[in-house]
Structure 1
Amino acid sequence: MTEPTLSAAPPTPPIPPAPAAPAIPGFTCRSAPGADGVRLNVAVGGSGTPVVLLHGFPQTHLMWRHVAVELATEHTVICPDLRGYGASDKPAATGAATYSKRTMAADVVELARALGHERFALVGHDRGALVAIRAGLDHPEAVTHLASLDVLPTLDSWDVLRGTTAAVAFHLFLMAQPPGLPEQLIGACPDVFFGHFLDVWARDPAAIPADVRAAYLAASRAAVPSIVADVRASAGIDVEHDRTDRAAGRRLGMPVSVLQQDWGAALGFDAAELWRAWAPDLRHTTVSCGHFMAEEAPGEVSRAVRELLSR
């Protein structure tokens, strides 16, 4: 009797490698000190005079992936995750100052110093722009040039949001509430909450590809309490700091460039006029793209930064 022939088991297909996490090409990430013992995740690339790029909400340093590469051909470009965001430390908010823009601005100055730069140009988008403005007011000896993308100074932001038009910033009013409710509501469905802004604020959805969107959502999901604390500080202690500066006549003495959507017209105010009260050496430009302009119009942003640095 012939023994049956046993066929060989089919080979096990190899497990495909996990896709690489998105990163800024040619940049190296490291941990560096901020203020109060906080450690910041920062991507650094290029060489030359330093430019620090601060991201917005609900993003990380990755939002600068196009602009940073462009500027790195001429400059040392430093892209940190703000405290409470991305891979940076997320200290518990033990008081209003933990996430005040004054504290976060001190993070930036300490970070730059740790990387060997006493003076640097500073570019901020959204939340990062509020940090940049405060750094320019508090540390004029360190900030040589300042650019703000699509935001008003903190005090003006709250002043112009009134009536039914304030609905465009419902998230700010939600996160300004006392601790407890905002964290629970947002923490119950963080991807829906943060994803909403990535969807409705981008005029060109392709500007934020799927892997980058997933990275933003994962980072925000892990940072709900600190993101809320950041916005809550802007409705309280940050407004107090701005009011004190306005009463004292403190202004931004360095060259300032502002790129902004034309949402001032829709909300009934002149954005350039509001900015001139803070920045005598101002160039204010209206851009035709969505809120995420460093991703939707990186060439325009890069040109504006280069023009600023030439002043």
Structure 2
Amino acid sequence: MDPKINGFDYRRVTVADGVTLNAAVGGSGPAIVLLHGFPQTHLMWRHVAADLAADHTVICPDLRGYGDSDKPVDTDGAGYAKRTMAADIVALAGALGHDRFALAGHDRGALVAFRAGLDHPTAVSQLALLDVLPTLDMWDVLHGASAAVAFHLYLMAQPPGLPEELIAGSPDAFFGHFLDVWTRDPEALPAEVRAAYLRASRDAVPSIVADYRASAGIDVAHDAADRAAGNQLRMPVTVLQQDWGAALGYDAAAVWRAWAPDLDHQTVTCGHFMAEEAPAEVLRALRALLDR
């Protein structure tokens, strides 16, 4: 059996069109929803969630297509749009009695959280985004040989068929690659946690690819429409990320400030899986944001 977040209850909540999300829920008080990244599940928040549950209701779902949540077939290219996945999260929080909540996301979950902040500003009170750029900007800054670090984005952007077949041919090698190279502290991912991530990803190849494919298509269109309309995040926003700006040659804080005028932008020295590698640092940032 996969590990769970200690002291949390596990629930299955139907959010839209019969899609049910698996969510760990703990604590009491104002709500905060924590969204995981790739190639992980809600379990990545285990350290942070346990601390926040002392004075908050903490909701940690598996995103649509990941972990133990439903994995609907994407028939029209919109099934894994971040707009669709963000609506899932708002519906989940509402079903649990929280029409307004703080929201934090890492990696893919941060893209879902970003979209939720734009589409549902009255629901999201504060927003934290970990180690990601908005989709539109992400594609803009990737160029030349430096884009090799994001080879998986280009692979999973291809039309249905080839990416799924290639990844399914050796899923543990594919997903395990990112678990290995994106962390600076291998001990932050104990064997049982790493095995849980691999099991979950192995069982979700089509939906994970659909999520990434959406980020090369419909998600770009949604971001571009918001940029053209001048839409911005209205709530306080905290961004934690590695110094990708220096690595890829752009001003990361300026990119984010164009979307989030009320911004606290911080760089970290840990690896990509910061909620597991540096939970105390993530907690400090989240608690400062929640006090605003």
Which interval holds the TM-score relative to the shorter structure?
Answer: over 0.9
Q: Give yes or no for the alignment of 1:262 onto 2:243.
A: yes
Look up the match of 1:305: 286
Q: What is the one-letter code of the residue matched to 2:149?
A: V
Cα displacement string for residues 12-44 of structure 1 (whole angstroms, at most 9, x for unaligned residues)? xxxxxxxx5311110011101222221000000
Give structure 1 regions of 4+ aligned residues with deviation exceeding 3 angstroms: none
1:116 maps onto 2:116 in alignment = no
Matched, 1:40 2:35: no
Code of the residue aligned with 1:296 in structure 2: it is E
Asked if 1:64 is matched to 2:81, the reply is no
Q: Which residue of 2 aligns with 1:6?
A: none
1:284 counterpart SS class: strand
Aligned-partner Cα distance in 1 for 2:212–2:169: 18
- Measure the CA separation in 1 of the matches of 2:104 and 2:195: 25
Greater CA radius of gyration, 1 or 2?
Answer: 1
In the alignment, which residue of structure 2 is the partner of 1:295? 276
Query: CA-atom RMSD, angstroms?
Result: 0.6
Partner of 2:131: 150
- Matched residue of 2:210: which SS? helix
Which residue, out of 281, 289, 307, partners 2:262?
A: 281
Residue in 2 that maps onto 1:223? 204
Letter matched to residue 212 of structure 2: V
Provide the residue aligned with 1:139 in structure 2.
120
Q: Where does the alignment leave 5 or more consecutive residues of structure 1 unmatched?
A: 1-19
**Structure 2 residue corresponding to 1:81, chosen from 48, 55, 62:** 62
Map Cα deviations across residues 51-70 of structure 1 (whole Å, 9 max, x no partner): 00000000000000000001
Partner of 2:7: 26
Cα offsets for 1:59-85 (capped at 9, x unmatched): 000000000001101100000000000
Q: Distance in 1 between matches of 2:279 and 2:14?
A: 29
Please tell me the residue identity of whatever aligns with 1:132: A
Match of 1:100, as an amino acid?
A
Give the deviation of 1:96 after TM superposition.
Answer: 1.2
Equivalent residue of 2:259, what SS?
coil
Report the TM-score, using the length of structure 2 for normalisation.
0.99
Q: 1:197 aligns with which of 175, 178, 202?
A: 178
Q: Name the structure 1 match of 2:168.
A: 187
Aligned residues of 1:35 and 1:103 also touching (Cα < 8 A): no
Q: Is the 1:176–1:231 Cα contact (8 Å) retained in structure 2?
A: yes
